[in-house]
A and B are shown apart, each in its own frame.
Chain A
């Protein structure tokens, strides 16, 4: 199949899957909603709430998948995920400061705002640390990411430790860190949707450059790509997309790691096909994981990260075992 045809078929199939999953999410839940009466006054508020949640699932799932895909290509490391460069712990630290510092009460935007600020700060630090002269080598970037991650986590643990006495705050931080797609208002969905949508659109435009980059920086330069500039841009996009996703829904692991791999397994490594299809597949995946998270316990929900890791972990181990030869190249 030509890449074009692959893309067309993939778009049709995955869009249909996404629509079905979205519709499913409107019906699924502890409260019974008969399909025929979905929009009656009795059920409409609940269906709206579920719709907002499913929309956020699409946005966050798509964003994390594309962010992971970018980093896997740019870092040329199949184990890269959106959190590998410190975005997550920066966001976590920002959110924890907001919650424990007591400013969270000022408005519902404060925690996502601080989380996003923390994410941006963390990636800026990583970038500055990783720079060697005018270039940003992949290995220093990874190392700087690991270091910022561990510094931010230790600060987070310090904050949590000193906050144990205050109980309530720590509780909220943990809740936030576990990740959840719960929303009560439309604006976080809209803001995250615009930011992540823009990020994905730009990534689609740069899919060709991603292809060139993934064969190696030197060959890419020989092919006429302005390697450093492209890398920087893609790095910033993946970080901002991840930051927006984490700020609205906390830390949801494994999506950005396994969705690109799963899609690659089916359609091959061409990023022109991979980027849009990973976005659709990620959205579908997260909606379905959220359906499970909402309904599998008899009351209350499981953190969605438990579901994504439970399903994603074994699948990834399998990929790793069978792929070893190809992955280490």
Chain B
């Protein structure tokens, strides 16, 4: 009996291995397809689509969800984690990343014969410059430069210059458990200020940080932005948190749940949209205040 269980376990093991072996094998390409690109970061995928070179994109990461057409491109790994077997089989000419989970994977990408481009995207200017760098690498330098300049201009136009006294105090909640928010040095903090708000956690020491519920209460935000998928009654849940019902944001009904998280936190071209959406939100706040 005991041995039978052992054999069953071994059979299960072998069956799984056989299934894995015979299913979904990809033929190895003879040589590189000219101009073929793989992207292992959602922001890079968005940039490649914006530059109009999506037809040359032969692989993306599982995190690449925008534009919707990106979902139909073959997945060749997770965000920052290339699938070496697929890279070897599909032989891209160029692999573009923003980070690697395992630094050793750099060798694997080179092992597959691909050129590797690492794009730094620490702030908005780096994002725009990254667009130019990517454009140059994929042979559309001129169009990329134009596009980046266009984004820079839109970004500058959406940037609001108002005295601090008129800026709403803003709390952006990135996750509810534990409470996490963005502080100085993060993308989001910068976007909030440019859009005409003041981040209540600006002075925290780490760019992506936890925050205590007391700190939120003490700093009494006038606008609360929930930057994660929520249900419709999330604002009530916020109001129901102990001690939070008296917050200015809760009393005036300014708990915002409909901002697209990816436009706020993803260092892609849509961060301009994120800035514009924030600026709209804060402008409405100022109008309400003025009345």
Q: Give A residues with C-beta under 8 Å from B.
A: 24, 27-33, 42-43, 45-46, 49, 104-105, 108, 164-165, 167-168, 171-172, 175-176, 180, 182, 184-185, 262, 265-266, 285, 288-289, 291-292, 294-296, 298-301, 307, 311, 314-315, 318-319, 322-323
Contact = CB atoms under 8 A, between A and B. Distances in A.
26 contacts: A28-B21, A30-B26, A30-B85, A30-B89, A31-B25, A32-B28, A33-B28, A42-B28, A45-B111, A164-B210, A167-B208, A172-B103, A184-B104, A184-B107, A184-B111, A262-B9, A265-B3, A265-B6, A285-B13, A288-B13, A295-B20, A296-B16, A298-B75, A299-B83, A311-B13, A318-B2
Q: Which of B14, B25, B27, B111 has the most CB of A within 10 A?
A: B25
Nearest to A290: B17
A300 B5 contact: no
Contact of B6 (A30, A185, A262, A295): A262
Q: Which of B17, B28, B62, B76 has the most CB of A within 10 A?
A: B17
Interface in B169-217: 206-210
Contacts of B5: 315, 318
B101 A172 contact: yes
Contacts of B19: 296
B147 interface: no
Contacts of B104: 108, 182, 184
A300 to B, nearest CB: 5
Given A30-B24, A105-B103, A167-B208, A300 B2 contact: no
Contacts, number: 130
A184 B88 CA distance: 14
Contacts of A108: 104
A289 B88 contact: no
Interface of B: 1-3, 5-6, 9, 12-14, 16-17, 19-21, 23-28, 30, 62, 74-78, 80-81, 83-86, 88-89, 99, 101-104, 107-108, 111, 206-210
Contact of B77 (A164, A171, A300): A300
B16 A292 contact: yes
Contacts of B6: 262, 265-266, 315
A299 B24 CA distance: 10
Contacts of B76: 299
A45 B108 CA distance: 11
Given A180-B102, A265-B3, A288-B17, 14 more contacts: A31-B28, A32-B89, A42-B28, A49-B111, A167-B208, A172-B102, A175-B81, A182-B108, A285-B13, A295-B23, A298-B75, A300-B78, A315-B6, A322-B1
Contacts of B78: 300
A165 B77 contact: no
A16 to B, nearest CB: 14
A292 B2 contact: no
A175 B83 CA distance: 14
Contacts of A27: 21
B86 to A, nearest CB: 5
Q: What does DSSP make chain B's interface, helix, strand, loop or mixed?
A: mixed
A289 B206 CA distance: 40
B15 to A, nearest CB: 10
Given A165-B208, A292-B13, A299 B86 contact: yes
A32 B81 CA distance: 21
A165 B75 CA distance: 28
Contacts of B75: 298-300
A322 B2 contact: yes
Given A30-B24, A31-B28, A265-B2, A165 B209 contact: yes
A262 B3 CA distance: 9
A241 B71 CA distance: 45
A196 to B, nearest CB: 21
Contact of B86 (A30, A45, A185, A292): A30
A32 B209 contact: no
B103 A104 contact: yes
Nearest to B80: A171
Contacts of A298: 24, 75
Contact of A24 (B21, B74, B81, B210): B21
A315 B17 contact: no
Closest A-B pairs by Cβ, 6 of them: A295-B20, A165-B206, A31-B89, A30-B85, A32-B25, A28-B21
A105 B106 CA distance: 12
A171 B207 CA distance: 16
B88 A171 contact: no
A22 B13 CA distance: 15
B208 A291 contact: no
B9 A184 contact: no
A323 B2 CA distance: 9
Given A171-B101, A294-B20, A298-B24, A31 B88 contact: yes
B107 A301 contact: no
Contact of A164 (B17, B99, B103, B208): B208
A291 B17 contact: yes
Contacts of B85: 29-31, 46, 294
Contacts of A176: 102
Contact of B21 (A185, A291, A307, A315): A291
Contacts of B107: 184-185
Contacts of A318: 2, 5
B11 to A, nearest CB: 11
A314 B12 CA distance: 12
A33 B26 CA distance: 9
Contacts of A323: 2
Contacts of A291: 17, 20-21
Nearest to B30: A42
